[in-house]
Chains A and B, each alone.
Chain A
Amino acid sequence: GESVGLHLPTLSVQEGDNSIINCAYSNSASDYFIWYKQESGKGPQFIIDIRSNMDKRQGQRVTVLLNKTVKHLSLQIAATQPGDSAVYFCAENLYSSASKIIFGSGTRLSIRP
C-alpha cells in the first residue's frame, strides 16, 4: 500500500556536524520523493525533491539520497546550524497516477550548542 515511514522520531546533533535523517517508503510506484521542513507554528516548507530515476540530488547544504533497492530515502544537512532545528518530513508522490502526495510522520531535529 501507500506509506512513508521514518526510522527515528528525534535526532540530536552537535552544531556544525552533519545531520542525516532517514525515511523508508513502501510504494515502488512513487515517482517523486520530497523533503519538507516545518518550524514550530508554521506550515511545512519545501527543501528538496528527487525523481525516482535519480540516486542523488544536491541543494544548498542539503543532499537527498534515494536507494530504490531497499526503498530508502535520506536527507543530509551539512554543517548543521541552530536554524535547522525543526521537524523534517519526507513525502512521496505517485505523480504519474494522481499527484497524490503522502507524508511520513516526521523527525524532530534538535541542535546542541
Chain B
Amino acid sequence: DAGITQSPRYKITETGRQVTLMCHQTWSHSYMFWYRQDLGHGLRLIYYSAAADITDKGEVPDGYVVSRSKTENFPLTLESATRSQTSVYFCASSASGTGELFFGEGSRLTVL
C-alpha cells in the first residue's frame, strides 16, 4: 500500500530554472492539494484539484503551474524558480474533500 508519494524528496536548483515536483497517490482520491511550508510557519495552499482536469488556485499560486490529466497524479511546476520559492512542498489527497487529508512526506526544495 504505497499511499501518496512525492518525488524528488530533496532538490537543489538555481534561480530561473524550471522544476517539477511529482505527486502520486494510489487510493484514487478525487481531491488533491499542494501546500508549501516555510521554516517555522504553517502550510499555505498553492493549488488544489477536485478531479482530473479540474484545478483551482489557492492562497499563493503565483509562480506555480499544475496539471491533473490523471486522477492519481498531480505535478507541481515552478516555471522559473526564485529564491523565495525555497520551501518544503507537501502534496495531499482526500476522498471526500471535507477535511481528512493524507499528506506525502514532503519535497524539500532549495533555490540558489
Q: A residues engaging B (CB < 8 A)?
A: 2, 31-34, 36, 42-46, 49, 51, 89, 91, 93, 95, 98-106
Evaluate contact between A105 and B100: CB separation under 8 angstroms.
Answer: no
Are A43's CB and B90's CB within 8 A?
yes
Q: Tell me whether B44 is interfacial, beta carbon within 8 Å.
A: yes
A86 to chain B, nearest CB (A): 13
> Which B residue's beta carbon lies closest to that of A47?
B100
- Asked if A91 and B99 sit within 8 Å, CB to CB, the answer is yes
A100 touches B106 (CB 8 A): no
If A44-B90, A46-B102, A104-B42 are given as contacts, then 19 extra A-B residue pairs at C-beta distance below 8 Å, sorted by A number, are A34-B101, A42-B106, A43-B90, A43-B92, A43-B105, A45-B103, A51-B98, A93-B97, A93-B98, A95-B98, A99-B50, A99-B98, A100-B48, A100-B56, A100-B58, A102-B45, A103-B42, A103-B44, A105-B42
Chain A residues near B58 (CB-CB < 8 A): 100
Q: List 27 A-B contacts (CB under 8 A).
A: A31-B98, A33-B99, A34-B100, A42-B106, A43-B104, A46-B99, A46-B101, A49-B100, A89-B42, A93-B98, A95-B97, A95-B98, A98-B48, A98-B56, A99-B48, A99-B50, A99-B94, A100-B56, A100-B58, A101-B45, A101-B48, A101-B99, A101-B101, A103-B43, A103-B44, A103-B45, A104-B42
The interface residues of chain B lying within 8 Å CB-to-CB of A93 are 97-99
- Which residue, B48, B58, B97, has most C-beta atoms of chain A within 10 A? B97
- In order of increasing CB-CB distance, the 7 nearest A-B pairs are A43-B103, A99-B97, A49-B99, A34-B99, A105-B42, A103-B43, A32-B99
CB distance from B93 to the nearest CB of A (A): 11
With the chains together, A32 CA to B97 CA distance in Å? Answer: 10
A32 — which chain B residues lie within 8 A by C-beta? 98-99
Docked CA distance A2–B97 (Å): 18
